[in-house]
Chains A and B, each alone.
Chain A
């Protein structure tokens, strides 16, 4: 029977997916229901029996070829263990720079592609609305760009690392690069990208609205951006990116809701208002939040390092 005729006959009578199931059936890789379906069908269908016999022949041919290969040298294991005993050489700074660049390039390809245009689009919209709504009446904390920038960075960081967002992470972690370096590279890329974009947006704003000093503007988003990103990263590593993003979003949202009682002069709101006041972040609060951000990032790196606890 020709191949075309066989296919026509199969398409009329065979259960959907039979083509795909047969190789897996042959190797015992199907569940019980699928296996029974196939066995019932094979009793009736000579075309599928021939197909199965063909796959079996291919498997036998592949195994026969493999069996005739020379055996790997028994010294391989001894040599591998000897390499483990030798201390790894310390890379020179040029090698380190090259390795860093290669790592950043490699990790860029593994981060979700949509993250880059999405962050740029949100920040661009934030800049445009801020620009159009500059009337001198808004407080610093109400500028749309400053409301969006910290949470965009935090969400990006939460989605940059972890097995839930990157199915290939397990394989990536099995490369000679340590998990800490993988994490650092991804953070550098995502946070660096958002920091760069927001700095550029701040520069544009300070040019079109000279009444807002550039330094004040940058401090206003930098402190919450780092704190929220550190929090999102740690929670994402501990409990998954959904919780990391969710908590950061909720915390940030609650801070925004405090704006109204703050304007009304509520004393409690000033205490609860973590990130800035209308006149700019007081130095004490700013320092505290930066220190907290550092603690969160260090904890995240410690956590990632637990994956490389080999001697």
Chain B
């Protein structure tokens, strides 16, 4: 798909999301099912990355869906429905983290999920991008997840995270520097110091 058609496709997606929100505001239970099908997977992935525990992420997903149903009528359309929804999920996740001990996804978990994006060093060392992503701090990983993986703009990500747009940009570019630094250290002999 070309980027031009991606742009048009995006507008279609936004229109569909908004139509779904209107139906949700009118207490349409079938719309709730469609809403869940559309958002549960990306929201769940985002929550797992924030919270670290899939069981807690499921509880938060349920709470997010519940709130979306209850508060759909307060949605004014100032933001994209998905931005609104991720903002709710993040608020709930942060509240849950305050109530309990925070945890993160372990490296072992991510290592077992390693894909084909690995970079092999001459010495046979291998640093996988999935592993490298897991090494980022939660704040930096979160903006990579929102902007790169979920496809939000900087403004939308800032809205979700509740911080200035400049902070989102600086976190993303700090993450980029970290990732590139780690990968380069793995591929260039004698530069392995500081590699995770």
Q: Is the CB of B41 within 8 A of A68?
A: no
- 27 A-B residue pairs with Cβ-Cβ distance under 8 Å, sorted by A, are A3-B181, A19-B173, A23-B172, A24-B153, A27-B147, A28-B151, A30-B7, A32-B7, A54-B180, A57-B129, A58-B144, A58-B148, A62-B149, A65-B134, A69-B54, A71-B44, A72-B44, A76-B65, A77-B65, A80-B32, A84-B66, A170-B74, A170-B78, A171-B88, A173-B74, A174-B87, A310-B71
Contact with B along A145-182 (1 / 0, CB 8 A): 00000000000000000010001101101111001000
> Whose C-beta in chain A lies nearest to the C-beta of B141?
A62
Please report the C-alpha to C-alpha distance between residue A168 and residue B36 in the assembled complex, in whole angstroms: 24
Q: Is the CB of A310 within 8 A of B73?
A: yes
Please report the C-alpha to C-alpha distance between residue A8 and residue B78 in the assembled complex, in whole angstroms: 40
**Chain B contacts of A26 at CB under 8 A?**
148
Please report the C-alpha to C-alpha distance between residue A12 and residue B175 in the assembled complex, in whole angstroms: 23
Would you call B108 an interface residue if the criterion is a C-beta within 8 Å of the partner chain's C-beta atoms? no
Residues of chain B whose beta carbon lies under 8 Å from any beta carbon of chain A: 3-4, 6-7, 9-10, 25, 27, 29, 32-33, 36, 40-42, 44-45, 48, 54, 57-58, 61-62, 65-76, 78-79, 84, 87-88, 91, 110, 113, 115-117, 128-130, 132-134, 144-145, 147-149, 151-154, 159, 162, 169, 172-173, 176-177, 179-181, 184
Would you call A301 an interface residue if the criterion is a C-beta within 8 Å of the partner chain's C-beta atoms? no
Please report the C-alpha to C-alpha distance between residue A58 and residue B45 in the assembled complex, in whole angstroms: 16
Please report the C-alpha to C-alpha distance between residue A8 and residue B42 in the assembled complex, in whole angstroms: 37
Q: Is the CB of B72 within 8 A of A80?
A: no
Q: Which of A34-74 contact B (CB under 8 A)?
A: 35, 54-55, 57-66, 68-73
Would you call A267 an interface residue if the criterion is a C-beta within 8 Å of the partner chain's C-beta atoms? no
Q: Is the CB of B148 within 8 A of A80?
A: no
Q: Is the CB of A72 within 8 A of B58?
A: yes
Q: Is the CB of B149 within 8 A of A310?
A: no
Q: Is the CB of B179 within 8 A of A58?
A: yes
Q: Which of A69, A76, A81, A179 contacts B45 (CB 8 A)?
A: A69
Q: Is the CB of B45 within 8 A of A66?
A: yes
Q: Is the CB of A55 within 8 A of B84?
A: no
- Given A29-B153, A69-B45, A171-B91, the answer on whether A35 and B7 have CB atoms closer than 8 Å is yes
Would you call A95 an interface residue if the criterion is a C-beta within 8 Å of the partner chain's C-beta atoms? no
Q: Is the CB of B33 within 8 A of A77?
A: yes
Please report the C-alpha to C-alpha distance between residue A292 and residue B162 in the assembled complex, in whole angstroms: 39
Q: Is the CB of B144 within 8 A of A69?
A: no
Q: Which of A235-263 contact B (CB under 8 A)?
A: none
Q: Which of B36, B76, B169 contacts A170 (CB 8 A)?
A: B76
> Whose C-beta in chain B lies nearest to the C-beta of A7?
B177
Q: Which of B42, B62, B84, B152 contacts A76 (CB 8 A)?
A: B62
Contact with B along A180-209 (1 / 0, CB 8 A): 000000000000000000000000000000
Q: Is the CB of B129 within 8 A of A27?
A: no
**Chain B contacts of A62 at CB under 8 A?**
130, 133, 144-145, 148-149
Nearest CB on A from B24, distance (A): 10
Q: Is the CB of A69 within 8 A of B84?
A: no
**Chain A contacts of B65 at CB under 8 A?**
76-77, 80
**Chain B contacts of A179 at CB under 8 A?**
74
Q: Is the CB of A310 within 8 A of B10?
A: no
Please report the C-alpha to C-alpha distance between residue A68 and residue B70 in the assembled complex, in whole angstroms: 31
Please report the C-alpha to C-alpha distance between residue A41 and residue B196 in the assembled complex, in whole angstroms: 35
